[in-house]
């Protein structure tokens, strides 16, 4: 694996050793029932467990982006995020947190009021025309994900139809990176190919097989496949029954160059990383 790094709240993290980002969803409708943490006790417990098991980053989301997810107003998202971040900062101090949002107002609040370390935008700036300008002003690391449409339409309206799938995804990232750099954004850009977002099951596995091509950007690569439909639908299973299969896909992602695993199950992901490092002789 090529050496990459990221700075989180002023601390250098060497990504030559893969790290784990733990998903903590403060939503009532996450596609995985084991990760719905609207109650303060639940999300604090989930955060504590993730940290104890070895997560480097806690990813907080207040708007489910599963296919067909109901729309959450900006006001409600802000209220959920603010309440959760206030509580997490009180109990856990300045741990590295990313906020999963495509709204510039939410990103601004999270960075300015709660010193979050990373903005995780599933839309690549497509769903809020102010997001890239906001990211450039806030100047914290940014996760740039590939998606077409919205969470409500990404699997519909021909959004999974491509003339030339991989080149089009690569072109998307090249154009977005150029836009960000033109705005004088100087922090780390993390590439997220967007597994499950505007992609068929077959396209997801084509993406996985060719994940290493994204190293052409010389930026960290994040993979989020945890318990997704590309796994459980293929196996005629469910998100709740997909832990072992998720571990298998995460191992394949590491072999193809992933630097960050975004997961629901930190312990299992840390074990995958330990086995991968042993296999590589690290």
State the chain's mean pLDDT as an integer: 91
Let me know if residue 10 belongs to a domain: no
CB–CB of 20/56 below 8 Å?
yes
Which of residues 241 and 152 earns the better pLDDT score? 241
Strands (E), the chain: 5-8, 11-14, 19-25, 57-61, 97-100, 118-121, 142-145, 189-192, 222-223, 260-263
Residue-wise pLDDT tens digits, 167-208 = 999 999 999 999 999 999 999 999 999 999 999 999 999 999
In this prediction, what percent of the chain has a pLDDT beyond 70? Answer: 90
Residue 31 has what pLDDT? 45
DSSP line for 7-74: EETTEEEETTS-EEEEEEE-SS--SSGGGB--SHHHHHHHHHHHHHHT-SEEEEESS--STTPPP--H
How many other CB atoms sit within 10 Å of the CB of residue 215?
Answer: 17
Confidence of residue 35 (pLDDT cuts 50, 70, 90): very low
CB–CB of 54/270 below 8 Å?
yes
Let me know if residue 7 belongs to a domain: no
Confidence of residue 154 (pLDDT cuts 50, 70, 90): low
How far CA 234 is from CA of 2, 191, 230, 242, 245, in Å, comes to 31, 25, 6, 11, 10
Let me know if residue 163 belongs to a domain: yes
Quote the domain boundaries for residue 126: 16-280
Confidence of residue 282 (pLDDT cuts 50, 70, 90): confident
Residue 130 half-sphere exposure, CB side, CA atoms within 13 Å? 10
Domain with residue 46: its CATH number is 3.20.20.20
Q: Is 120 helix (H, G, I), strand (E, B) or coil?
A: strand
Confidence of residue 3 (pLDDT cuts 50, 70, 90): low
Known active-site residue 103: no
Residue 40 has what pLDDT? 80
Q: Which of 228, 267, 277, 280 is catalytic?
A: 228
Let me know if residue 2 belongs to a domain: no
Question: Residues with Cβ < 8 Å from 203, sequence gap 6 or more?
Answer: 160, 162, 165
Residue 235 has what pLDDT? 95
Let me know if residue 267 belongs to a domain: yes
Q: Which of 209, 262, 277, 280 is catalytic?
A: 262
CB–CB of 118/141 below 8 Å?
yes
CA angle 102, 108, 110 (to 5 degrees): 90
Residue 34 has what pLDDT? 46
pLDDT of residue 51 exceeding 80, the answer is: yes
Q: How many domains does the chain have?
A: 1
Residue 103 has what pLDDT? 95
Known active-site residue 156: no
Residue-wise pLDDT tens digits, 64-100 = 766 666 778 899 899 889 999 999 999 999 999 999 9
DSSP letter (8 states) at residue 130: T
Let me know if residue 3 belongs to a domain: no
- Angstrom distance (rounded) from CA 15 to CA 190: 11
Average the pLDDT over each of 42-51, 54-63, 154-163, 218-227 and give the range with the smallest value. 154-163
Radius of gyration of the chain (CA): 17
Confidence of residue 220 (pLDDT cuts 50, 70, 90): very high
Residue 158 has what pLDDT? 84
In angstroms, how far is CA 194 from the centroid of its own chain?
8
Confidence of residue 210 (pLDDT cuts 50, 70, 90): very high
- Angstrom distance (rounded) from CA 215 to CA 49: 32
Let me know if residue 257 belongs to a domain: yes
Let me know if residue 11 belongs to a domain: no
Q: Which helix (H) or strand (E) holds 256?
A: none
């Amino acid at each position: 694996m090529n050496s990459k790094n990221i700075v989180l709240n002023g601390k250098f993290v060497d990504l030559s050793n893969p790290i784990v980002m733990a998903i903590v969803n403060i939503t009532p409708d996450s596609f995985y029932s084991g990760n719905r943490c609207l109650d303060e006790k639940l999300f604090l417990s989930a955060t504590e467990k993730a940290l104890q098991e070895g997560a480097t980053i806690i990813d907080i989301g207040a708007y489910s982006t599963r296919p067909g997810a109901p729309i959450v107003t900006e006001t409600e998202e802000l209220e959920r995020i603010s309440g959760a971040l206030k509580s997490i900062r009180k109990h856990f101090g300045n741990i590295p947190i990313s906020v999963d949002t495509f709204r510039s107002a939410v990103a601004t609040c999270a960075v300015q009021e709660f010193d979050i370390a990373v903005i995780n935008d599933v839309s690549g700036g497509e769903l809020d025309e102010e997001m890239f300008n906001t990211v450039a002003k806030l100047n914290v690391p940014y996760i740039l994900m590939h998606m077409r449409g919205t969470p409500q339409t990404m699997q519909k309206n021909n959004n999974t139809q491509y003339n030339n799938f991989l080149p089009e995804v690569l072109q998307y990232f090249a154009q977005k990176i150029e836009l960000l750099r033109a705005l004088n954004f100087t922090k780390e850009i993390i590439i997220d190919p967007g597994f499950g977002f505007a992609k068929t099951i077959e396209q997801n596995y084509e993406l996985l097989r060719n994940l290493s091509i994204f190293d052409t950007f010389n930026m960290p690569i994040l993979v989020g496949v945890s318990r997704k439909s590309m796994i459980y639908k293929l196996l005629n299973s469910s998100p709740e029954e997909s832990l072992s299969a998720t571990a298998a896909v995460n191992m394949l992602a590491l072999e193809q160059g992933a630097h960050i695993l975004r997961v629901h199950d930190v312990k299992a992901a840390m074990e995958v990383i330990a086995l991968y490092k042993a296999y590589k002789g690290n």
